[in-house]
Amino acid sequence: MDDSSTALPLRCVKPDRSHGSGMWELAKKTSLDLNSAYKYIMMAEYFADTCVAAVEHEQVVGFITGFIKPDESDVLFIWQVGVDPGQQGKGLAFTMLRKLLQREQCKNVRYVEATITAENKASQALFKKLATSFSTSYAVRETFPEEILPGNARTEFTYRIGPLPLSVQLKGDE
């Protein structure tokens, strides 16, 4: 039997501008705060080293946008993690985060931060799993109270995971 027509496996790649609109389309399908399409294209263009696109059948089925904090070069701030509803519960978010942290550009990252609402149990679980994978701790603090956020936005708490080892090798990786 000819397997040339079989599906391409899911790949986690450094995004480029061509992935930006797919990231935006995916964000629209999730409960993420939707940013402009331009923001996703800009992240893929200018912050590709600290972003990930999970691609299957040439479609973006997951993404992470993040950046190294300007005043803390050892902190990777994760802005958004988006996973297609059909891919949720399969460990894709953790896989993308692991692959991101293994990049050369993240070799000096000792801490990972993200802001998460109290209602976002999936993101809380993701970052707690990251801490467990590194046998390190995490701290949570209120960062952006709902009083300063517009609309119906909820209070955002910063999750800070670390310190991470300088040479990232998660449990279970070979």
| pLDDT tens, position by position, 117-157 | 999 999 999 999 999 999 999 999 999 999 998 888 899 99
CATH code for the structural domain at 11-161: 3.40.630.30
Pick from 88, 38, 39: which is nearest to 61 by CA?
Answer: 88
Mean of pLDDT values over 54-64: 96
Q: Tell me the C-alpha distance between 4 and 161, whole Å.
A: 43
In DSSP terms, which residues pair with 68 in a beta bridge? 76
Contact 131, 138 (CB under 8 A): yes
Q: pTM to 2 decimals? A: 0.89
pLDDT at residue 173 is higher than 50: no
- Supply 55's token pair: 């691609």
2: left (phi over 0), alpha (psi -120 to 50) or beta: beta
Whether the CB-CB separation of 50 and 105 falls below 8 Å is answered with: yes
Flag whether pLDDT at 174 surpasses 90.
no
